[in-house]
Amino acid sequence: MSGKLALLNETLAAAKAEGRAALIAYLPAGFPTVDGGIEAITAVLAGGADIVEVGLPHSDPVLDGPVIQTADDIALRGGVRIADVMRTVREAHAATGKPVLVMTYWNPIDRYGVERFTAELAEAGGAGCILPDLPVEESASWREHAEKHGLATVFVVAPSSRTERIGTIAAAGSGFVYAASLMGVTGTRESVGAQAQDLVERTRTTTGLPVCVGLGVSNAGQAAQVASFADGVIVGSAFVKRILDAPDAAAGVTAVRELAAELAAGVRAGSGRRADG
């Protein structure tokens, strides 16, 4: 079965060919509702994001800060299920033609069944999964099924990771490497500092995969800063916060579309001072 990993690779390569970083957005499925989440995710892609990560809400999101935890809680109280995540992927991809990944902790996939999850994600048009808490050493079964269905496996590296370890992680992954810009949980930050650039540079010594930076980017200026050295800029909490702060669902959709456009402009502005040409 031909999967959407090729589309993800092509999208990242096209951004690089334009001399810019890709803009990757994150929003959880089922937030504020299943239908509302699909509308918001589609709006973010229409507004300028190149790729989107659909979060699978989890009751113990260890990597996520209070903003995304709040959104996950809303989605879970609304009764979101894996079937709703798959529907979100299917409709967002069908509406935009852009790559859609799922970001999820391992436990829900383990309980659902790896073969079932990968088959359904591929059938929905998903490009792959970001798996922040799955150790590479325990990932063989996942990778076998993901490869069979043409899905990317994106692993996360952190500033604390030794370069040798980064190489092991990157070698096992596909699509891109997710570089966590700082130690700690997701959330907006006042700045995204030198740690992130150092991590990108160290990761690039180990792999030819694109290196995309997440955790902390919330505005066009920060997007430009990260775009000057990374292959992709990942933004999550800032989108979630726009929806949480909106007076109603329609205003939330408008707000995330506008933020996507601002961030897309920021990514392009940062590309003019890219260190890697």
Q: What share of the chain is helix, strand, coil (3-state, %, to 5)?
A: 50, 15, 35
Q: What is the C-alpha to C-alpha distance for residues 235 and 112, in angstroms, rounded to an integer?
A: 28
Q: What is the C-alpha to C-alpha distance for residues 6 and 24, in angstroms, rounded to an integer?
A: 16
Residue 64 annotated as catalytic: yes
**Phi/psi at 276 (nearest 5 deg)?**
-100, 10
- Selected catalytic residue, list 39, 64, 84, 231: 64
Contact 130, 99 (CB under 8 A): no
CA 103, distance to chain mean position in Å, is: 6
Q: What is the pLDDT of residue 84?
A: 98
Domain 4-272 in CATH 3.30.450.40:
no
Model-level pTM?
0.93
Q: What is the pLDDT of residue 145?
A: 97
3-state secondary structure of 67: helix
Q: What is the 3-state secondary structure (H, E, C) of 104-164?
A: CCHHHHHHHCHHHHHHHHHHCCCCEEECCCCCHHHCHHHHHHHHHCCCEEECEECCCCCHH
- Selected catalytic residue, list 39, 50, 53, 231: 53
Q: pLDDT means per 10 residues in the chain (277 residues)? A: 82 95 97 98 98 93 80 95 98 97 96 98 98 95 96 95 95 96 51 79 96 89 93 95 96 98 94 54
Helix axes 237-245, 249-271, angle to 10 degrees: 150
Bridge partners (DSSP) of residue 212 are: 178, 232
Q: Which two tokens stand for residue 199?
A: 């991590």
